[in-house]
């Protein structure tokens, strides 16, 4: 690890005023410390945010929930408000990492974790995300785990999070504070596609700190499914994951949310597909059509063509499970 200085501010405003282009905030550190050991990230200063509070989960006046940025993955997944009202989020969090990492890793940090692309991690190879302009060996190299949607010539990395796929489907809002004040970022606008600036994963400025994640009032308590497909049964990143959430008016789907993980630089949603599902009675044919539409623009690489079929099948299964209330152990009310 390259030496760095350490700072532990006592307030959010002190923290953001300490930040500069050579500093990093640290919460759980599960990804950042690893990246520092690999010399992928070499901050001159670490700003420890563990003295800032930001570790509560509270109901909001509007009927939603505000999750502090420092809440651990485990505390989030097992919080009564989340388990009862946002079970899709609980399931997604518990599908990720290991129990040890979930005890350490924070909610805000989950959004900011970096891709697990082999080339990004290997400082002996070029990587446009790590060293802009150096090239992307993944495009023609070992790209089995890489993106099939929204990639660019510069970068084919995927976002590795499970939590974020659920947060995208639930239309969470990211609360952020910088030196000039607070702002709120809709989840869909938080992460970026790589385009020609793959070094930027998201739209945060270096001196902006994620302070919390707000969930809108719950409507997907009954019909939801987080389905994760990976190379082993536990403790592996998703090859493909699906967050599906539905509401019903009788037999008819009223509202649908569908987000994919493991396939793009950010959780992948398409409003067209969600509108296609709304107003329809669930059927295999309908779900197949949704799956095909969502994958329409897929551009697989040399080793990940299987992801297109896998994603389509996973979508159909997740939607079917969600419609049946399978994760909830029950039939449609």
Partner 1 sequence: MTAIASNGAAEHPICLTLNGQPRTLQVHPWVTLLDLLREQLDLIGTKKGCDHGQCGACTVLRDGKRVNACLTLAIMCDGADLVTIEGLASGDDLHPMQRAFITHDAFQCGYCTPGQICSAVGLVHEGRADTREAIREQMSGNLCRCGAYGNIVAAVEEALPSMTNGAKAQRGQHP
Residue 29 touches partner 1, criterion: CB under 8 A: yes
Closest contact distance (angstroms) between CB of 34 and partner 1 is: 5
Closest contact distance (angstroms) between CB of 295 and partner 1 is: 30
Closest contact distance (angstroms) between CB of 4 and partner 1 is: 6
Please identify, using beta-carbon distances, which residue of 72 and 312 lies nearer to partner 1: 72
Closest contact distance (angstroms) between CB of 104 and partner 1 is: 5
Length of the chain: 333
Give the burial class of 180: count Cβ atoms within 10 A of its Cβ; 0-12 exposed, 13-18 middle, 19 or more buried.
exposed
Judged by CB under 8 A, which stretch of 95-103, 158-166, 237-245, 319-327 contacts partner 1? Answer: 95-103
Please identify, using beta-carbon distances, which residue of 38 and 171 lies nearer to partner 1: 38
Query: Binding marks (x or -) toward partner 1, 101..130, rule CB under 8 A?
Result: x-xx--------------------------
Q: How far is 195 from 208, CA to CA, in rounded Å?
A: 22
Q: How far is 156 from 144, CA to CA, in rounded Å?
A: 11
CB contact at 8 A, 57 and 65: yes
Please identify, using beta-carbon distances, which residue of 21 and 233 lies nearer to partner 1: 233
Q: How far is 69 from 108, CA to CA, in rounded Å?
A: 4
Q: DSSP per residue over 20-65, as a string?
A: -TTEEEESS-TTHHHHHHTTS---SEEEE-TTS----EEE-TTS-E
Residue 26 touches partner 1, criterion: CB under 8 A: yes
Please identify, using beta-carbon distances, which residue of 32 and 311 lies nearer to partner 1: 32
Q: Binder to partner 1 among 13, 14, 53, 78 (CB under 8 A)?
A: 78
Q: Binder to partner 1 among 15, 19, 46, 82 (CB under 8 A)?
A: 46
Q: Phi and psi (nearest 5°) for 248?
A: -125, 150
Q: How far is 226 from 215, CA to CA, in rounded Å?
A: 17
Judged by CB under 8 A, which stretch of 25-33, 56-64, 126-134, 317-325 contacts partner 1? Answer: 25-33
Residue 235 touches partner 1, criterion: CB under 8 A: yes
Judged by CB under 8 A, which stretch of 23-31, 134-142, 161-169, 201-209 contacts partner 1? Answer: 23-31
Give the burial class of 250: count Cβ atoms within 10 A of its Cβ; 0-12 exposed, 13-18 middle, 19 or more buried.
exposed
The angle at the Cα of 245, spanning 282 to 91, to the nearest 5 degrees, equals 130
Please identify, using beta-carbon distances, which residue of 48 and 214 lies nearer to partner 1: 48
Closest contact distance (angstroms) between CB of 236 and partner 1 is: 9
Give whole-number Cα distances, 225 to 136, 312, 318, 332, in Å. Answer: 34, 15, 6, 14
C-alpha gyration radius of the chain = 20
Per DSSP, 82 falls in state H
Judged by CB under 8 A, which stretch of 57-65, 100-108, 169-177, 279-287 contacts partner 1? Answer: 100-108
CB contact at 8 A, 33 and 190: no
Closest contact distance (angstroms) between CB of 323 and partner 1 is: 25
CB contact at 8 A, 278 and 259: no
Closest contact distance (angstroms) between CB of 33 and partner 1 is: 5
Q: Binder to partner 1 among 16, 19, 25, 30 (CB under 8 A)?
A: 30
The span from the first CA to the last CA of the chain, in angstroms, equals 55
Residue 328 touches partner 1, criterion: CB under 8 A: no
Q: Phi and psi (nearest 5°) for 57?
A: -125, 120
Please identify, using beta-carbon distances, which residue of 36 and 170 lies nearer to partner 1: 36
Interface contacts to partner 1, rule CB under 8 A: 1-6, 26, 29-30, 33-34, 36-37, 46, 48, 50, 74, 78, 97-101, 103-104, 233-235
């Amino acid at each position: 690890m390259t030496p760095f200085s350490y700072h532990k501010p006592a307030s959010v405003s002190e923290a953001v005023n300490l930040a500069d282009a050579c500093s990093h905030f640290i919460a759980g550190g599960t990804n950042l410390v690893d990246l520092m050991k690999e010399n992928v990230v070499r901050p001159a200063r670490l700003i420890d945010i563990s003295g800032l509070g930001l570790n509560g989960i509270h109901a909001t006046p509007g009927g939603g929930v505000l999750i502090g940025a420092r809440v651990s993955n485990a505390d989030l997944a097992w919080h009564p408000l989340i388990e009862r009202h946002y079970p899709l989020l609980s399931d997604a969090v518990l599908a990720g990492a290991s129990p040890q990492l979930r005890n350490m890793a924070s909610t805000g940090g989950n959004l900011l974790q970096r891709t697990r692309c082999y080339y990004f991690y290997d400082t002996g190879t070029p990587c446009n995300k790590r060293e802009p302009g150096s090239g992307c060996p993944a495009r023609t190299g070992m790209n089995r785990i890489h993106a099939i949607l929204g990639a660019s010539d510069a970068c084919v990395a995927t976002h590795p999070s499970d939590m974020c796929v659920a947060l995208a489907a639930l239309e969470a809002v990211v609360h952020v504070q910088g030196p000039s004040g607070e702002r709120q970022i809709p989840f869909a606008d938080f992460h970026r596609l790589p385009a020609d600036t793959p070094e930027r994963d998201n739209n945060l400025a270096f001196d902006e700190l994620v302070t919390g994640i707000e969930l809108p009032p719950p409507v997907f308590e009954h019909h939801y499914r987080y389905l994760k497909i990976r190379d082993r049964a536990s403790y592996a990143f998703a090859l493909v994951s699906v967050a599906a959430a539905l509401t019903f008016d009788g037999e008819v789907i009223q509202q649908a949310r569908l987000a994919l993980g493991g396939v793009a630089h950010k959780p992948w949603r398409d409003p067209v597909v969600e509108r296609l599902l709304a107003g329809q009675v669930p059927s295999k044919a309908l779900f197949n059509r949704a799956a095909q539409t969502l994958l329409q623009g897929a551009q697989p690489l040399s080793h990940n063509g299987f992801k297109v079929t896998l994603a389509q099948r996973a979508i159909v299964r997740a939607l079917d499970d969600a419609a049946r209330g399978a994760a909830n152990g029950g039939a449609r009310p």
